[in-house]
Structures are given as structure tokens and as C-alpha cells.
Amino acid sequence: MEPARRSSLKDWGFALLAAAVLAVVGVTSVDGHPLAIATAHPWVVEGIGFVATAALVFFALRIGRRDLKLRLQQLAGGTDALERLSLVAERSANAIIFTDPQRRITWANASFLRMSGRTAETVIGRTWSEVLEVRRLEPDAFDRLRELLAAGRVARTEIQIRTVDGRSIWMDIELLPLRDRDARSTGFLIIGNDISEQVRLRESLREREESARLVLEAADLGTWDWNPQTGALAVNARWFTMAGYDVGEIGTDYVTWSKLVHPDDLPTAEAALSAHLSGATPRYVTTYRLTTKNGEERWFLDSGCVLARDPAGQPLRVAGVRMDITEQKRAETARRDSDELLANIAANVPGMIFQYRRNPDGTACFPYASPRMRSFYGVTPAQAAEDATLAVSAVHPDDLMYLRNSVTQSAIDNVPWRCEYRLCPPGGRTIWVEGRGMPRHLDNGSIVWEGQIVDITERKLMEFEAAAARDELARHRDHLAELVAERTAGLTAALAQAERANAAKSEFLANMSHELRTPMHAILSFAGFGLERISSADRVRLGNYFSRIRTSSQRLLLLLNDLLDLAKLEAGKTVLDCQPHDLADLARQIIGETAATGVAKRVGVEMETPDEPLPVRVDAIRIQQVIANLLSNAIKFSPPGSTVRVTASFGATDAQGNRCARLEVTDQGIGVPESELETIFDKFVQSSKTRTGAGGTGLGLAICREIVQAHHGRIHAESVPGGGTRLVVELPLDDANGARAAA
């Protein structure tokens, strides 16, 4: 027999034995004569009665109280069984009292006295309801208790009592009727325990559930609770009604739901659900169209999550809410249509449409600006929407105060704003604009202008030209002789400049003719040798001819590439692939590629760089072309044993507060005369010191200047004290990283 079953049979046997003993004690005589033990030792009878009563307590506790069972098991084997039962009743954590048939307390354990805050003297002889001062009980609870007790059944209920010190506690009590062998009532056994915390938690849970229900009703949300294993779907009433159905009118299974969802939205919704069920996403969120009962398509948002999974990770319960977002979707569509309409209007209206707001604290922004704002102010509409400072910084310094005064005057007088001013966006040309707008005063103290800004540069140029023409005419009228002399001097200077340019061009053409003829002559000569001796010459010699032809062709190709580069740069047709780069890294690569040339000429190359990167946004190929040209010239014109120094650093701050990346190439060569430091960058021009000996076409530095200027940078030459030349290239720092790197 199993141990648990044997223990259960022993318990029942012990309980029956205790009941029999109690019945015997209840009979103190046989045929009217007192029992000998009762006469000789009355305290023994009382002790046996107490033990028998405790046995009945043990029976009740074995059935209704698990903690008493544990205590009995712990005490088993210690002392005599009767003493153990008495000890259990006295030291139990549950409140235990015995009453007579009139429900007057005859015995109470320490736990009951502690819970009620009373002593044994104050409770013995009083009814348990008087002692406990029952405060809350369901209306029919006493009637139900009486019926159960009258039928000899165990009664159980929850009551709220008041202790001596005024505290209110909740108790869970069981009332067990006690009878003798003749089935006469001998009293009641009452077992109770403090459940105040459980009641508090239960009330808190009920309040939270009620609060959640009210929130869901107020939020107009449908709720659903789905069992993926069985397919069962529990929903609230709003889940039905938001789709136009009465409660229970349609099925709540997954198949019914999938049939109502728009076919174009179902795959997306199912994919979102599958992703969450598999654990790929933390929540299930999707939107879809659903056909309502009257055939209308409405938009819904479903949001939920898995609440329970089995040991294998499969979902057991998924719950969430459904929200009708039709009006939100319609508003989004209307807003999108409105934005598209406004964008189309803005794209076809001359100039820029704007809304400018000045706040009471002095800050300002452009809540709306059409895309042309970038070409006018050099900032995006999104940047200007946060803060107008960047846009205002594009205003010409000489016009800024005038512009601010015009805006202030418009706000004070509440009159239309009109102002003409110049804009100098970063990296762009200066333009004249005219702004017009109407002020509106808002309740919060802000002032808003809506209006338009147009480019009036051509009109202004015409006005300036007309004014200049008028001034010119006045000068002609008042100082005709002086004007003629000035014009003559100007024409003379222009003629001299033209003659210099023509001479330079002629010199360039002569150089070009020579440069073109030299490789072409070599190509033709070696090609002729090859043709004449193709049958007699050995392969080595023919290979030499072909190598000479290839070398001359490459030289010719480089020359033609320079000419094409210059032509494209002058025509503005060169497309730059600008990407973020470190200027120092670009220079290091070129130094590595030209190292062999320096070694061959016994010219050293040293480089100095800052600890931080020099972030620039450039076309790497073109900028490296510039660096290679400058480094090649420096090595070419440096004497053997000298050193070319390449220095990369952060440049000085310009008038607009912008810093630049600076690259210097300094040689110890023959140098450039001070008068030619600027002209060496002109087309067709070479320095007088390099015009002979080293050769060249005079295109290299001209191409370098065109490339650097295309990157909005600068290039110039400086004389180095003691001999040599320094070529300096300055490029704008990358907007994204330059400020942080330079700090």
C-alpha cells in the first residue's frame, strides 16, 4: 500500500477512536452507578475528554487545514500522541475556538486571542459573534450558516471583524458542529485564519479590472484573447459593434476574421502576426481594412502580444486590442493631399513661399517654407522649421540690421512687410531678393508672417546698370575730356592685356605644337622602323619599338587629357563625385605613389598631420590630381638632397566663422618671383624660372585652380624665405564632422 494512502487510513482510524473515547467520557455511570475511574480520579476523565476533543480537532484540521497537517507531521514521533494533539491545537497559526450548543466560547487557542486582541478571561462564556464584533457579512449569510449547521454540515464563510484596538480584519472561518453518540449537539468547533491581505489584493485586482474595463470603454477599444492551439477567440462587445455587427452575430474564430480583412492587407497582417508568434518581434502591431456589415471599408489597428507559451516555446495565449483608425486614416489622406497641393502650388509659384514666426522670447523659426528655401538661404526647410538662425546668417551683413528693422516695424504697425536685401548662402553666389508678407498676432504673443520671397537679382543688376549709366552720362557731360582719357587708358590697358594674352596663347600654342609633335614624331618614327624591319628585326628590337610607341602615346594621352580636363572645367561640365574623406589620408596616398620619383631625384618627402582627421567632402580623384600635380612640381624643381614638406592642418576661420582644411606643399627649389605668384595659375602661363629646362605646357596649375574652385576652395602660392615655393590649398571642412574635429 502507498505511504500516502496508509497515512490517510491511519488518520481516519485515529479520528474514529477519538470520537469513541469522547462518547465514553460523556457517560459517567453504568446502570446508574458512577464509573470507578470517574469516582477515583475525576481529573483523568477531564483529561481524556480534552484529549478526545483534541482528536476531533485533529480530524477537522486534517481535512480543512493543510498547515495543521504539516505541523502534525513535524511533531510526529516526539511525545505522546495525546500531548501532540493538544500542542497542535494550542500552537496552530489558525484561530481555533470551541463553543457550547448556545455558541458560547468554552476554549480558545493563542492564535485566536492574538488575532482578536483579547484575553481568555474576556472571551470565555461569550458568543463568538459578540467577541468578534462581526461588521460585514452577506445578508443571507447567517441563514445559510444556520441551515448548514442544522444539517450537521461544515459551514464556511468570510467575515470582517473588529479587534479590541479598533482594527478591522477579514477572516475565513469554518464552523464544524460537534455531537455526541446520540447525535445531540455538544457545541461547535470554529477554525479561522486572517485573510486581510488576500482580501486587499482581491479588492485591488477587482478595482484594477474595473478601471481597465472603464478605460477600454472610454477609449472605444475592442479586446480580443486568442488561443492559437484551439483557435478559440474571446472578444468584448465593442469588437463586434465597431464592425457594425451585433454581439454574437458573427463567429469569433480566426477564419471569420481573415475573410473580413481586405485581401490586399491580409498578407501583411498575417506576416506581422507570424513574426510575433515566432518571437521575432516584441509585439504584434498591424493596420488593415475590414469590411463592415453594411459593406463599408474601415481601417483598424490591431496591437497585442503573447501572454503565455508552453515549454517548447509555442504560444498558448495571445491578447490585444482593436482600434478603429478610419478617421485618422482619412485625416492623413486629406493632409497628404493638402501637402501635395501646396507643394505643387509652391513648385509653380516664382520664388519661395514661407511662414515666419517670431516668439515672445525673441526666438524665431520658419514653420513652413517651400523647397526653394535651400537655393535662397542655403538651409533646408526642416532646418529652418527648428530655428531661423541658420537662415538669417545667410543675410548680407550690410543688410541685416535693415531687414530686422523692417520686420519689427511691420509687427509694431501691423502693416504688410516689404524689404529688399541680399542673401549670401554658403558656397553660393550673392543674390538680391524681395520679401513680402502680412503679419498676424497670435493669442500666445507670437507674430506670424505669411508671404513670398522672390529673386530680383536681374532687376537689381538692371537698376545698377541704369544708375551706372546715368552716372556715366553725367561724368561724360561734366568731364568729357577726362572720360576720354580714361577710356583711352582703359583701351590701352585692355589692348596691352589682349596682346599679353595673345602672346601667351601664341607661346602656349608653340609649346603645344612642340609637345604634340614630339610624341607624335616618336610614334610615327618607331612605327615606321617597325614596318620596315618587321621581317628582319628580332623580337627584342620590335618590342623596344612598341615600348617607345607606347611611352610616346601615353605622354600624348596625358597631354590631351589635360586639355580635355581644362575644357570641361572651364565649361562647367565636370561632374564631381563628392564623398567624405580625410584630406591627410588623400595626401598620404599620393606621397606613397610618388615616392619612387623622389628617390630617383634624391629628393626627400616629409609630411606633418594633426592628431585629428581633416574631414572634407570632395571628389577624391580630382583632389588627388591636384596634390599629385603640386607634389610632382615640387620634386621636379627641387635640387638633389633637398626635402619637400607636405603639411596638413586646420586653417584659419573666415569672415563667416567657418574653418577650413589646409594643405601646404613646400619645396626648396628655384622659387617663383613675387610678381608671378598669381599669374602662374593663369592658362598658357609658366614661371619665367621654369619656362626653360623643366618644360611643361603651363596647364597644370590652371587645372588645379579650376578643380579647387569647383570644390568652393582656394589655392595660392607663396615665396619661402631663403628660397623655394609654398603652394597652399584650402578646402571647406565637411559640415557633418568639421566642427567637432576642429574643436
Which residue pairs from 289-293 have beta carbons closer than 8 angstroms and sit at least 24 positions apart in sequence?
A: 289/261, 289/262, 289/264, 289/265, 290/243, 290/260, 290/261, 290/262, 291/260, 291/262, 292/243, 292/244, 292/245, 293/243, 293/244, 293/245, 293/249
- The pLDDT of residue 715 is 93
Query: HSE (CB half, 13 Å, CA atoms) of 155?
Result: 21
In Å, the largest CA–CA distance within the chain is 169
Nearby residues of 233 by Cβ (< 8 Å), 6 or more positions away: 224, 225, 226, 227, 252, 253, 254, 257
User: And the C-alpha cell for 471?
Assistant: 552716372
- Whether the Cβ atoms of residue 430 and residue 461 lie closer than 8 Å to each other: no
The Cα 676–Cα 638 span in angstroms is: 18
Query: Buried b / exposed e across 89-100, counting CB within 10 Å, b at 16+?
Result: beebebbbbbbe
- The pLDDT of residue 182 is 84
Among left, alpha and beta (phi > 0; psi -120 to 50; other), residue 698 is: left
Strand-pair category, 725-732 with 714-719 = antiparallel
**Is residue 652 packed enough to be buried (19+ CB in 10 Å), middle (13-18) or exposed (0-12)?**
exposed
Among left, alpha and beta (phi > 0; psi -120 to 50; other), residue 724 is: left
Query: Buried b / exposed e across 141-157, counting CB within 10 Å, b at 16+?
Result: eeeebeebbeeeeebeb
pLDDT tens per residue, range 329-344: 888 888 888 777 777 7
Beta-carbon count within 10 A of 335 CB: 10
Closest to 453 measured CA to CA, from 411, 392, 401: 392
β-bridge partners, 174: 156, 191
Residue bearing cell 444556520: 146
- Residue type for position 712: H
What φ, ψ does residue 581 adopt, rounded to 5°?
A: -145, 160
Nearby residues of 717 by Cβ (< 8 Å), 6 or more positions away: 672, 677, 678, 680, 681, 725, 726, 727, 728
Three-class secondary structure of residue 98 per DSSP: strand
User: And the C-alpha cell for 501?
Assistant: 594674352
- The pLDDT of residue 183 is 81
- The pLDDT of residue 140 is 58
Q: What are the counts of helices (DSSP H) followed by strands (DSSP E) for the chain?
A: 26, 24
- Whether the Cβ atoms of residue 115 and residue 99 lie closer than 8 Å to each other: no
Closest to 191 measured CA to CA, from 348, 76, 66: 66
Residue bearing cell 478559440: 232
Query: HSE (CB half, 13 Å, CA atoms) of 493?
Result: 6
Query: HSE (CB half, 13 Å, CA atoms) of 230?
Result: 9
- The pLDDT of residue 406 is 92
- Whether the Cβ atoms of residue 733 and residue 741 lie closer than 8 Å to each other: yes
Strands (E), 100-150: 105-108
User: And the C-alpha cell for 566?
Assistant: 581644362
The Cα 367–Cα 382 span in angstroms is: 9
The Cα 700–Cα 563 span in angstroms is: 10
**Is residue 172 packed enough to be buried (19+ CB in 10 Å), middle (13-18) or exposed (0-12)?**
middle
Three-class secondary structure of residue 473 per DSSP: helix
Residues 126/128/131/135 CA torsion (nearest 10 deg)? -140
- The pLDDT of residue 517 is 61
DSSP 330-388: HHHHHHHHHHHHHHHHHHHSSSEEEEEEE-TTS-EEEEEE-TTHHHHHSS-HHHHHH-S
- Whether the Cβ atoms of residue 213 and residue 195 lie closer than 8 Å to each other: no
Strand-pair category, 643-650 with 604-608 = parallel
Ranges of the chain with pLDDT below 50 = 1-10, 12-79, 136, 693-694, 738-743
Three-class secondary structure of residue 533 per DSSP: coil
**Is residue 433 packed enough to be buried (19+ CB in 10 Å), middle (13-18) or exposed (0-12)?**
buried
User: And the C-alpha cell for 152?
Assistant: 450537521
DSSP state of 121: H
The Cα 449–Cα 406 span in angstroms is: 12
The Cα 35–Cα 27 span in angstroms is: 9
- Whether the Cβ atoms of residue 702 and residue 708 lie closer than 8 Å to each other: no
Sheet with 447-455, strands from edge to edge, namely: 364-369, 352-358, 447-455, 431-441, 417-423
- The answer to whether the pTM exceeds 0.95 is no
Among left, alpha and beta (phi > 0; psi -120 to 50; other), residue 120 is: alpha
The Cα 76–Cα 67 span in angstroms is: 14
- The pLDDT of residue 18 is 45
User: And the C-alpha cell for 225?
Assistant: 484573447
Residue bearing cell 477587482: 206
User: And the C-alpha cell for 338?
Assistant: 493638402
Residues 717/720/721/724 CA torsion (nearest 10 deg)? -120
